[in-house]
Every structure is written in structure tokens, then in C-alpha cells.
Amino acid sequence: MSENIIKQTRAEYDQLDRVNPSSLMYALTSRKHYWTYCNGQIEHRPSPAMEIGTLAHALILEPNTTDFAYWTGKVRRGKEWDEFQLEHAGQVIVRQKEMDIAARIAEAVRGHDTAAALLATCHTEMTIKHDWQIDGEHVLHCKGRIDAICPTHLVDVKTAGDIRPREFGRQCANLRYNVRLACYRYWYEQETDNSPNVYLIAVENTPPYDVVVYHVPDQFLDSGLTEAERGARLVCWGLKDDAWPGIAEKVQALEVPLWAMPDEELVGF
């Protein structure tokens, strides 16, 4: 495996001063949004479902290395909470109820033959670094944290409320999963000369914690890579010019969906 694909802790990964797929997706809104995100001015407060998903992630991918600390307070704010965070720096802070749900989710994935077989041959929570050549004139230093990877396939684990094909596919499109996954596959291809298949393991975050394994179609990944390249190009322009404009400086035409427009035949009736 390439020297740019390595095992790191989350803290070590976070210290890498490189562009990740999440920041590229902010650039797709505007360079201003990218700059604001990278300077820590966009606060992300995870929902309870997201926190359970993060826990399940750890239990599925790194069950023997994640260190947990149990919080018994009522709310995650205030002096007591701040002191608890300092005391347990480096640990994943959880409530017992959240841990119980996450454990059931992880058990469901391990008990699913296809999902378990895909993960069995992979290295998990791997850092990938890649120096991305953009338009032959820019180099963007990138990083990603891949859930599971081996020469034949790349796997991403997602918890969701609805994992039926059409409904989960809609979530994948709305949340631009293809941008992130396309970055991972493209960077892996460039670093190793291998082109892995890409799979999503979708698991419900409520009973019965059903599991479905989806193969991600190449067309979806290709469109994601096109979007990622557009975001990377905007970042490169921003770095070159030290200019971080927003969505638009001049008056724009409002784009209204067709269903909200009047029927021309009825106008003036």
C-alpha cells in the first residue's frame, strides 16, 4: 500500500493541514463558505442520531481501539460538562442509552453476511493523502479518512432512518455522498493504480436495525468527481488570488421550480 495511505488516530488526522472532501463541498456553495468553514466559523452541533451514528461507526470499524467515557449529566453544556470534556480529552464521550443503541447497530452489521465479508478483508479508518493536480497548473494538498479499504473495494458505513433503495438513494444524492466517495476512489487510484469497487453499508438507526449493502454505480461517482474537481478548482483560485467571494455580487434571476410557476394558458383568464 502507498506511503500516503496510513493508519492514524482521528486526532492525528485532524492535525493534517490539508483539504478534505467536506471542505470541497462547502466550496461548491461559494469560496466564501469554504473560507468560513476552514476558519472554524461554521458550528456543527450533531443531532442525537448523528452522535449514535458516530458511536456505531467506532464499534463497527474499531471496536478494540476506541476509548469511551460515560457522561451521566443531564445536558452537554455548562461548567460540569466543560470540566468533564477536559478530564476525558481523547476519549469518545457517550451516554449509556446511546451506547446501547450503537451496540445493536454494530451487532446488526457484524451479523449481516455480505456486510461482514466486505469488511473482513479491509483495513479500517485509513488516512489517505494526495496532492491533486488541478488543470495542470495548481496542486491541492488533500486528505481523506476512509472507513474501509482494500485493493478490490472501498466501503463506507452509513446509518439512516430509511434504507430502502429509492429513499436511501435520495439521501445519498441530497447529502452528496458521491462527492466524498469519488474523492476517495480517485485518490486511491492515483496512489496505488488500483480501481476499487465502491460499496455503501446502510444500516437503520432504529429497530429492527436492518442492513443493506449497496454497490455505488460508476455514473454516480463520475458526477461526484466532476463536482469535487469544480470545488477544488474554486479553492485553488481562492488560494492563488487570496479572494473568497460569496455566491454572487450582482443581482441574480430567481430560479423557481416549474410546479410553482403559473400555467401560461391560465395567465389572465
What is the set of domains in the chain, with CATH numbers? 5-41+114-242 (3.90.320.10)
pLDDT of residue 236: 97
Q: Dump pLDDT digits (tens) for 3-23.
A: 999 999 888 999 999 999 999
Three-state DSSP state, 153: strand
Amino acid in position 207: P
Three-state DSSP state, 132: strand
Q: Dump pLDDT digits (tens) for 142-195.
A: 999 999 999 999 999 999 999 999 999 999 999 999 999 999 999 999 999 999
pLDDT of residue 129: 98
Q: In this structure, how many other beta carbons lie within 10 angstroms of the beta carbon of residue 162?
A: 13
Q: In this structure, how many other beta carbons lie within 10 angstroms of the beta carbon of residue 145?
A: 17
Q: Are the C-beta atoms of 157 and 147 separated by less than 8 Å?
A: yes
pLDDT band at 266 (very low <50, low <70, confident <90, very high): very low
DSSP code at position 217: P
The helix (run of H) or strand (run of E) holding residue 199 is strand 197-204
Q: Dump pLDDT digits (tens) for 75-133.
A: 878 888 888 888 888 777 878 888 899 999 999 999 999 999 999 999 999 999 999 99
Q: In this structure, how many other beta carbons lie within 10 angstroms of the beta carbon of residue 242?
A: 7
Q: Are the C-beta atoms of 142 and 20 separated by less than 8 Å?
A: yes
Print the SS3 string covering 76-93. Answer: CCCHHHHHHHHHCCCCEE
Q: Kindly report whether the peptide bond that precedes residue 262 is cis, defined as omega within 30 degrees of 0.
A: no
pLDDT band at 264 (very low <50, low <70, confident <90, very high): low
pLDDT of residue 44: 77
pLDDT band at 69 (very low <50, low <70, confident <90, very high): confident
Q: Dump pLDDT digits (tens) for 206-223.
A: 999 999 999 999 999 999
Q: Dump pLDDT digits (tens) for 220-235.
A: 999 999 999 999 999 9
